[in-house]
Structure 1
Amino acid sequence: MKFTLLFCSALLVGFSSLHSADRKLVMIAGPVSHPPLMHEFRAGSMLLEKRLQGVPHLKTVLVTNGWPTKIVAGKRVDDNAVFEGADAIFIYADGGPNHLAVRPERLALLRGLMQRGVSLGCAHYAVEVTPERGGAEWKEWIGGHYENAFSCNPIWEAEFQTLPVHPLTRGVKPFKTKDEWYFNLRFREGKAGVKDILVAPPSDAVRDGPYVYPAGPYPHIQAAKGRAETMMWAVERPDGGRGFGFTGGHFHLNWQNDDQRRLILNALVWLAKLEVPAGGVDSAPVTDEEARQNLDEKKQSAPRSAPSPAKT
């Protein structure tokens, strides 16, 4: 009888452990960047993480101010312990040739994680790498990337009138926000395996520029007038990992848009390989007061192009 009770208890404990196993999502928010209410990577990530707290079996770890580091013998070195046991990584940070993830040793670390099926998502500037430093990896791991002078970055109001059937879009209604919506991304050959999530046609005036940098216009962008463009996409990799790219996220107050916010929350849950609820991730509205919490200290004033709170 005692043996039977112990055996049953062991089974129950084992079942409970399997059932309640957490998925670990590491969120990396980049250092201070841009004028106030733009590139508020820390504050934006904190808003998102707060709304992920109620997702069953999801454990989030938020790293702010860039790649995790520590001091060893008086020197600052990478502290990669945070990635142990990670199921997914989300990067919301500046990019380009100085992207925080494209140092050779960091790319090597990510390559090992990706080969084990860890997922990777990138938002806004973090989708930009160079062809020589991260380009091949970003196409493999998330499906594509922003490429300077090939892609463009105007500030415009994109209206997403239709959404595909996909876990990322559950509970999300068509919406529009004014943002620095990048487009004409450098995708995999033939866009193989890339699922479009947010698609909209820029107006002729948007294609004619100016872009944020370089100002443009670029003839190849103008030549594609009338064509719809992809601003968010998702991939499922052969190694079992998932990936997505989201080109919005420049203006902090756009996190007050209920549909844009739920879309990214859904994407983070999906990235961690958890089931996205039928109605999407439950996401409390972001009040004006909350939107202005945890902002980085910045000296410059926000330009007039910054939008008003984008509420639905």
Structure 2
Amino acid sequence: MRAFLIVLFFSASSLGNLLSVLFSDDPFLPASLRPSNSLTTVSAPAKKRIVFIAGACSHGAGEHEHKAGCLLLAQRLNATMPTVDAVVYSDGWPSDSSAFTNAAAIVIYGDGGEGHLINQHLESVNTLMKKGVGLACIHYAVEVPKGPAGTYFLDWIGGYFETFWSVNPVWTADYKSLPKHAITTGVKPFTINDEWYYHMRFRPNLDGVTPLLTTVPPASTLDRKDGPHENNPAVRAEAGQPQHTAWCRERPNGGRGFGITGGHYHRVWADDNFRKLVLNAIAWVAKVDVPTGGVPSATPSKEEMGLNQCPH
């Protein structure tokens, strides 16, 4: 009688477990009740590896602080995005090719043009791009030489700074409205003084390119004489027209790219909206879901902004 009462307190699943133990060798026991020889484990999803490549020191204090900027952004991502593993390689291209193993995205923040870090690695990077790895380029890193590198950039991120076509004045850009996109999530209209490149070389008709920051540069940005970066007839012909200074592209294979022309001055990373836009973009190119409200990040203190800067 006592045994009967005990059995009544067992749930159906508990009873099944008991039977499977007591009669595990019974050939007539249903397969669903036989004990499994393997243990089922649930593992956490692998983190998205984001590889930051910071260029060397090249300008005065507070300018082109590539290492400091990368470390600040990577720290913010690692602190608030549990599915991200952001790592920073400083002062040049990683010498160990394993740096890109399982990378979800690459972020380049360094000098560009003929000295761009990527120029000697175009084919290896293209292999990664074909696999769907994301690419984000910040400030000078959007400038590559016209030719093979420029053609690759049109495919990888949708546009680039082309000498004798694009210009690099310092001016105060006023972004009064932003398009709806994952990258602009939680970003409010903002105004910021920086070296904003514009009149970029984009894919024809902006095919596959989504502008993110657009405004009309003031006439003063065209005051300089003609030069490879300073001015040219083509940009003067578009005086008073809206220009795109940040954009993104989703490639046919699913890989994603992002470019932003600001970031000359280190102080811009203290601006909550500028910083959020770039953090959102990095998450987006790595195919990490951008949280509601955008990637959260605390405003860096004056002390933090002074960390990891170039010696001057």
Shorter-chain TM band = 0.7 to 0.9
Distance 1:99 1:35 in 2: 19
Residue 99 of structure 1: aligned partner: 116
Distance 1:86 1:191 in 2: 28
Shift of 1:131: 1.3
Residue 240 of structure 1: aligned partner: 254
Distance 1:64 1:283 in 2: 22
Residue 114 of structure 1: aligned partner: 129
Change (3 A) 1:6 1:247: farther
Distance 1:172 1:66 in 2: 31
The residue matched to 2:119 in structure 1 has which SS?
Answer: coil
Residue 218 of structure 2: aligned partner: 203
Change (3 A) 1:209 1:110: same
Distance 1:26 1:229 in 2: 29
Conserved 8 A contact 2:111-2:141: yes
The residue matched to 1:134 in structure 2 has which SS?
Answer: helix
Distance 2:109 2:36 in 1: 50
Query: How much is the aligned-residue C-alpha RMSD, in angstroms?
Result: 1.6
> Which letter does structure 1 place at the counterpart of 2:243?
E
Shift of 1:240: 1.4
Residue 60 of structure 1: aligned partner: 86
Residue 259 of structure 1: aligned partner: 273
Count of aligned residue pairs for this structure pair: 280
Could you tell me which runs of 5 or more consecutive residues in structure 1 were left unpaired when the two chains were aligned: 70-78, 299-312
Shift of 1:57: 1.1
> Which letter does structure 2 place at the counterpart of 1:222?
R
Please give the TM-score of this superposition, normalised by the length of structure 2. Answer: 0.86
Distance 1:148 1:139 in 2: 15
Residue 90 of structure 1: aligned partner: 107
Find out whether 1:136 has 2:151 as its counterpart: yes
Distance 1:185 1:284 in 2: 32
Change (3 A) 1:62 1:47: same
Residue 185 of structure 1: aligned partner: 200
Change (3 A) 1:132 1:50: same
> Which letter does structure 1 place at the counterpart of 2:109?
Y
Residue 161 of structure 2: aligned partner: 146
Any idea what the Cα deviations from partners look like across 1:48-84, whole Å, max 9, x if unmatched? 1111012021111110111012xxxxxxxxx211001
Distance 1:210 1:4 in 2: 82
Residue 226 of structure 1: aligned partner: 240
Distance 1:227 1:208 in 2: 16
Could you tell me which runs of 5 or more consecutive residues in structure 2 were left unpaired when the two chains were aligned: 1-19, 22-33
Any idea what the Cα deviations from partners look like across 1:91-143, whole Å, max 9, x if unmatched? 0000001211111xx11110111111111110000000011241110000000
Distance 1:59 1:130 in 2: 31
Q: Percent identity?
A: 42
The residue matched to 2:103 in structure 1 has which SS?
Answer: coil
Change (3 A) 1:130 1:5: same
